Structure 1
Amino acid sequence: MDMHHERGMEVTDSYQLDSYAADILCELGNIGAAHAATALSELLQAPIAMRVPQVELVPFDEISMTLGGPEVVVAGVFLQVTGDIEGTMFFIQSMKSAKQLVSNICGGEESKDGFSDIGLSALGEVGNILAANYLSALMDFTQLRMLPSVPLVAVDMAQSILSIALQTDQMGGRYALVIHTAVHHREEQEDAHFFLFPFPGAQDVLLHALGIGGSV
């Protein structure tokens, strides 16, 4: 598919991407996921498969609902993005999925109530691998420079973690690019969500570079 053909992006009041834009973003997400799966397979010394079944734009004030509600406790990895596009990224999983993934990496069970220091470090490494590969896919396509910071890991209510990205007054009415990811390991599947929050002014630059134009 020639993804460099530029066309307008129809974004309705519900922030629905048109099929062309969704196809581009899903394809880029799957490219990043394929490279991330290779890196995770080396980390786990076991086959890993990853796919991105859906990519969508979600208004900031509705983000927590994609995770089950603002008070649901989740495990999140937070990174800052600098370069031609600036913003924040989050890799977020349910506690159940995060514990399963971490136990696979660490070769043991995590405690019921939280994560060990080794578990938190492993979760941060997974987020770092995903961020690097998703951003690499975006950079290769857009020719924009996007560099992730050292990851920070937090376990808290969804709204508390996401509030890091929402603390600026200029975020009102903006959106996040949400990459839904399925991680397959042996007979198990861990669902994860990757959020890219472009800072004000950066979202139009990113969409234009992707060739889907428009202004949200």
Structure 2
Amino acid sequence: MIDDFSNLSNLQLDALREIGNIGAGNAATALAQLVNSKIDMSVPSVNILPFNEVPNLIGGADVHVVGIYLYVSGAAPASILFILPIDKACVLVDMLMGKPAGTTNPNAMSELDMSAMMELGNIISATYLNALYMFTQIAFVPSVPALGIDMAGAILDAILAQFGEIADHVLVLETNFKKDQYDVVGHFFLLPEPGTLNSILTALGVSY
């Protein structure tokens, strides 16, 4: 049985990357309908890294970020975290809401701005989970998203404090958003509970 992502083969990673790209394509379609404008999304890279290295990926534990968190229940429970630096989050809000670049203030995000970010987190999570369901037939039930604006280290510590059963390694899907002159990279993390990864890979037909 595979207990953490550090043991994954290239074949298994490729399978997860392909699901990520399908999810990104579906998310781009959903976002385009939401904002009535074409938005391109892709997953240029899929990586595995120890949970304690996550802050380094986004610039350090003291970087001010927006994090969107969901808990996924069902036969394969996991946590989902979508995180990006607050200045990039503001660019994304401008993109989603059709505002000129630089309109959203990172020091004073409005309720509407935060709602837009939460809706984005909902769409990305739902489309990735739906893509996983298509391939695995495992039903995933996501919670209502919670949004936090804080230092990256504080957000990650809060998740660890609440869910001590999270695996030592996480799956990272780098997620790229493009629209006109905008180009924003965020990171989507899947944090499996014990046994979840094995269930997913077995259903995909790429287990050991």
Displacement after TM superposition at 1:75 (Å): 0.8
Aligned positions of 1:1-216 closer than 5 A: 15=6, 17-108=8-99, 109-167=103-161, 168-171=163-166, 174-214=168-208
> Which segments of structure 1 move beyond 4 Å, counting only runs of 4 or more?
none
TM-score, with length taken from structure 2? 0.89
Q: Distance in 2 between matches of 1:74 and 1:19?
A: 31
- Looking at structure 2, the residues matched to 152 and 105 of structure 1 have their Cα atoms a distance apart, in angstroms, of 19
- Structure 1 residue runs without a partner (length 5+): 1-7
Does the 8 Å contact 1:16/1:57 carry over to 2? no
Q: Deviations over 1:148-204 (max 9, x none)?
A: 111111111111112233224444x62111111101111221101101111123222
- Taking a change above 3 Å as real, the CA distance of residues 87 and 34 of structure 1, as seen in their structure-2 partners, is same
CA distance in 2, matches of 1:37, 1:105: 11
- Which protein has the bigger helix share? 2
Partners in 2 of 1:202 and 1:165 — Cα distance?
A: 18
Pairwise CA RMSD: 2.0
Amino-acid identity (%):
37
Tell me by how many angstroms 1:16 deviates: 7.2
Cα drift, residue 17 of structure 1: 4.3
* TM-score (norm. length: structure 1): 0.86
Counterparts of 1:145 and 1:60 in 2: how far apart (Å)? 25
Which is worse superposed, 205-214 or 138-147?
205-214
Unmatched runs of 5 consecutive residues or more in structure 2:
none
Q: Contact between 2:93 and 2:116, CA under 8 Å: does it hold in 1? A: yes
The residue type equivalent to 1:207 in the other structure is L
SS of 2:159's partner is coil
Q: How many residues align?
A: 203
